[in-house]
């Protein structure tokens, strides 16, 4: 079945158009509710959101959808995506919903769905819900319509769970941490969690107004937290994205540390303690070759999955791994969470900082990335990757990089763009490979 609504991470789009309207949100609520009306117990859904203006509209529409088919609704208000996953399990809910477009601008929004186990829905469930959106769902009898209520202690529950990912005796006293919450879902919980563990907090991106989420802040704009680190003399900077499932770190010198370095640190630390499962780390095809070589030097494997945290998670579960993530900052630590959690990942980094006694610049730059170049080529239609000119350019580039690098070419799952990435020891060869393929794609798309 062709997907009309669900992409690689739920449903996402520009609000009040296409798939992201109040009408579609209500129908998603009805379809997902009907899909999970299993058993004779009273059914329940947990709904969280980030700080986008459109969150109010979509939240109310989904409440109408779920309650109309007989599900009770628990509203969390602005909370990180991993908090929704956690509370879906804790509250014994049948389904969880996060209303967020992650790191996208405020004009976009999205709907992420979790099953009762706190994991994102399987392809089977998403396809079933997709099919159900094409028809009306049976409505509950008048006496069976669901109720909606807000719970007041959601933030406290999540903060408690986050802090529990650290040993009981570990504190962050003496650390000055610059925290950028992207004016998003973690604007209250992340600074509070770090402060409760004893850290001194320098917070930015904690004044959401509905339209400033991810605006020149957060993990996609780490220069803001880097500036705060330098201005305040902080020991480290933590930058989350709009729904706080992504983490980028800045050292005390203001230098950015991406997800590959964070995976190297966490994976290596757990391996040294005998706590790394699966004998390695799961990343994506975009992770730097330097990470693979570093882990190999420790006797650890790097397993590569397709881009998208759901594919990382699938590989982790299939191979019994407990650490996985993406270069962009998604960190999945299955010992502590069922989905990416930027705050929990940040705490593992902060714990290592305290325990090592090193400065962040020493601790977090574990390998030198090999030259890597990514370019996006937009096209208006057709399948450029099937063109003979493009295939020939790819074959030539692969031959030039053979044994000295990697090549990844893939269509975007969310927009008409071909992503061309090459990496290798010779920056000139990398640049030439990317240029030749991009030129061929542009010719094919003309």
Please, is 107 exposed, middle or buried when counting C-beta atoms within 10 Å of its C-beta (0-12, 13-18, 19+)?
A: middle
| DSSP structure class, residue 322 | S
> Coil, strand, or helix at residue 3?
coil
Distance CA 242, CA 184 (A): 4
* 19, HSE (Cβ side, Cα atoms, 13 Å): 19
CA separation, residue 185 to residues 75, 77, 260 (Å): 14, 9, 24
Closest residue by Cα to residue 133 from 259, 280, 34 = 34
Q: One of 54, 68, 100, 102 is an active-site residue; which one? A: 102
Distance CA 343, CA 333 (A): 11
Residue 409 backbone zone (phi > 0: left; psi -120 to 50: alpha; other: beta): beta
Inter-residue contact 135 to 46 (CB < 8 Å):
no
Question: Would residue 102 show up in a list of annotated catalytic residues for this protein?
Answer: yes
Instruction: Quote helix, strand, coil % in the chain, to nearest 5.
Output: 40, 20, 40
Closest residue by Cα to residue 213 from 189, 184, 186, 190 = 184
Contacts of 113 (CB under 8 A, 6+ apart): 10, 32, 95, 96, 97, 120, 121, 125, 126, 129
Q: Which residue has the tokens 């790394």?
A: 276
Q: Is the dihedral of CA 318, 319, 323, 324 positive or negative?
A: negative
Regarding beta strands 176-180 and 236-240, do their DSSP bridges make them parallel or antiparallel, or are they unpaired? parallel
Q: Compute CA 217 distance to the chain's CA centroid, rounded to the nearest angstrom.
A: 16
Closest residue by Cα to residue 338 from 127, 187, 112 = 112
**Which helix (H) or strand (E) segment is 304 a member of?**
strand 301-305
- Phi, psi (degrees; rounded to nearest 5) at 382: 80, -165
Catalytically active residues are: 102
């Amino acid at each position: 079945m062709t997907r009309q609504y669900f992409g690689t991470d739920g449903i996402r789009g520009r609000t009040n158009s296409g798939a992201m309207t109040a009408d579609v949100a209500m129908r998603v609520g009805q379809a997902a509710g009907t899909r999970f009306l299993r058993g004779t117990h009273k059914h329940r859904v947990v709904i969280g959101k980030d700080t986008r203006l459109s969150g109010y509209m979509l939240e109310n529409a989904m409440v109408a959808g779920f309650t109309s088919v007989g599900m009770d609704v628990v509203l969390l208000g602005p909370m990180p995506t991993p908090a929704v996953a956690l509370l879906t399990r804790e509250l014994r809910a049948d389904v969880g919903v996060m209303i967020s477009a992650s790191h996208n601008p405020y004009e976009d929004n999205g709907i992420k769905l979790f099953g009762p186990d706190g994991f994102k829905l399987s392809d089977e469930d998403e396809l079933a819900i997709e099919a159900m959106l094409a028809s009306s769902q049976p409505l509950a009898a008048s006496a069976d319509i669901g109720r909606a209520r807000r719970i007041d202690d959601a933030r406290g529950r999540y903060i408690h769970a986050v802090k529990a990912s650290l040993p009981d005796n570990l504190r962050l006293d003496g650390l000055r941490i610059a925290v950028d919450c992207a004016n998003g879902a973690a604007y209250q919980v992340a600074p509070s969690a770090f402060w409760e563990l004893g850290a001194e907090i320098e917070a930015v991106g904690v004044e959401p107004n509905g339209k400033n989420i991810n605006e020149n802040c957060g993990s996609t704009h780490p220069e803001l937290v880097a500036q705060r680190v330098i201005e305040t003399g902080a020991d480290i900077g933590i930058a989350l994205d709009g729904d706080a499932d992504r983490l980028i770190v800045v050292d005390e010198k203001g230098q950015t540390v991406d997800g590959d370095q964070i995976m190297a640190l966490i994976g290596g630390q757990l391996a040294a303690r005998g706590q790394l499962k699966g004998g390695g780390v799961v990343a994506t095809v975009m992770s730097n070759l330097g990470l693979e070589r570093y882990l190999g030097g420790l006797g650890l494997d790097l397993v590569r999955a397709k881009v998208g945290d759901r594919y990382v998670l699938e590989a982790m579960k299939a191979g019994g791994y407990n650490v996985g993530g993406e270069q962009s900052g998604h960190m999945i630590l299955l010992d502590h969470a069922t989905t990416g959690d930027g705050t929990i990942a940040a705490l593992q980094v902060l714990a290592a900082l305290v325990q090592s006694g090193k400065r962040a610049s020493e601790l977090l730059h574990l390998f030198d990335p090999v030259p890597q170049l990514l370019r996006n080529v937009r096209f208006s239609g057709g399948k450029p990757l099937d063109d003979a000119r493009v295939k020939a350019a790819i074959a030539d580039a692969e031959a030039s990089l053979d044994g000295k690098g990697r090549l990844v070419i893939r269509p975007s799952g969310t927009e008409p763009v071909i992503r061309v990435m090459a990496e290798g020891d010779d920056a000139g060869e990398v640049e030439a490979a990317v240029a030749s393929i991009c030129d061929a794609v542009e010719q094919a798309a003309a």
